[in-house]
């Protein structure tokens, strides 16, 4: 019963958050069980572009290291802030949310080439936290019961924890930088004099992921309108042995056996 409750609760999570979190957990579990090796997952431009191992463009975002405190710490923040973004500023805009992932992933890979970074999942987590924090500047965050501060300071607090855990802060800085670029292009520049939106979600993504928009000029058929009923039986006129015809514009056929 407990597993059924957990499964039902997980299915209530928005689709993108659910898919990305599940992929990260399953990938790490496969490595832990020695079904996969990290050497099959890390980003290597030589193997991608010359050996055509294109899956490395995606799998390097799914592995957060062996299961331990660092893994659960990263998964907690990925799940929480990915979900808050998807249910908040991206609510009803799944295509835009996926496009943010794609934009951030491509930019991280290009910039990661300069720093020889092989796994970028932590950078993607930092980007999600950064974008959420900039869009929620008035929210106060209780950081594990130790500190309370405004949301824009959260990415820097996570960077400090990474430093304490002995992780490379270069990955966190990369995620913060990419998150700031996205935030500037999406939220700041379009509101400047002469500015405009430069990040336009491809139309095919909207067709694939977003619900179809309702036509404001569409007039529903009479039977689709709420409260539409057949006229009372006392207003029917005899229509012969096969049925009865109602007054007005509605017809009722009562087939007799």
Residue 59 placed within a domain: yes
Q: The domain containing residue 181 runs over which residues?
A: 1-191+199-209
Which residues does 83 contact at the CB level (< 8 Å), separation at least 6? 13, 14, 17
Task: Establish if 65 belongs to a structural domain.
Answer: yes
Give per-residue pLDDT as tens, 135-161: 999 999 988 788 888 999 999 999 998
pLDDT at 118 over 70: yes
Residue 226: DSSP 8-state: T
What is the mean pLDDT of the segment spanning 195-199? 90
On the question of pLDDT at 238 being above 60, the answer is: no
User: Is 231 contained in some domain?
Assistant: no
Mean pLDDT of 106-132: 93
Specify the pLDDT at position 207. 92
More confident site: 165 or 227 = 165
Angle, alpha carbons 84-133-87 (nearest 5°): 15
Instruction: Kindly state the tokens that stand for 232.
Output: 């009372």
244 vs 153: CA distance, rounded Å = 74
- Residue 162 placed within a domain: yes
Q: Within a domain: residue 97? A: yes
Q: Could you give the C-alpha distances from 165 to 154, 157, 168, in angstroms and in order? A: 17, 13, 9
Asked whether residue 247 is assigned to any structural domain, the reply reads: no
12 pLDDT band, cuts 50/70/90, is confident
pTM, two decimals, is 0.80
Above 80 in pLDDT, residue 254?
no
Rg (CA), the chain: 27
**pLDDT given for residue 162 in this prediction:** 85
Look at 211 and 217; give whichever has higher pLDDT: 211
In a domain, 230, yes or no: no
**Number of domains composing the chain:** 1
* Rounded-to-integer distance, Cα 95 and Cα 99, Å: 6
Looking up residue 12, the CATH number of its domain turns out to be 1.20.1540.10
How many Cβ atoms are within 10 Å of 133's Cβ, its own excluded?
Answer: 24
């Amino acid at each position: 019963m407990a597993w059924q409750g957990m499964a039902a609760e997980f299915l209530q999570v928005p689709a993108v958050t659910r898919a990305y979190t599940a992929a990260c957990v399953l990938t790490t579990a496969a490595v832990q069980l020695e079904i996969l090796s990290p050497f099959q997952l890390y980003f290597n431009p030589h193997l991608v572009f010359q050996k055509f191992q294109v899956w490395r463009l995606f799998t390097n975002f799914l592995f957060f290291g062996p299961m331990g405190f660092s893994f659960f710490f990263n998964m907690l923040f990925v799940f929480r802030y990915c979900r808050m973004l998807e249910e908040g500023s991206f609510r009803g805009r799944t295509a835009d949310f996926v496009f943010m992932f794609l934009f951030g992933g491509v930019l991280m890979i290009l910039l990661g080439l300069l720093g020889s970074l092989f796994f970028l999942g932590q950078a993607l987590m930092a980007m999600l936290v950064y974008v959420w924090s900039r869009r929620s500047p008035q929210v106060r965050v209780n950081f594990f019961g130790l500190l309370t501060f405004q949301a824009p300071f959260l990415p820097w607090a996570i960077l400090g924890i990474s430093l304490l855990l002995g992780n490379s802060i270069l990955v966190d800085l990369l995620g913060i930088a990419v998150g700031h670029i996205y935030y500037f292009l999406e939220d700041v520049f379009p509101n400047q004099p002469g500015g405009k939106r430069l990040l336009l979600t491809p139309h095919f993504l909207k067709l694939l992921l977003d619900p179809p928009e309702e036509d404001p000029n569409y007039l529903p058929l009479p039977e689709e309108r709420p409260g539409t009923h057949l006229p009372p039986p006392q207003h029917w006129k005899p229509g012969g042995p096969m049925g009865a015809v109602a007054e007005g514009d509605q017809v009722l056929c009562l087939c007799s056996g």
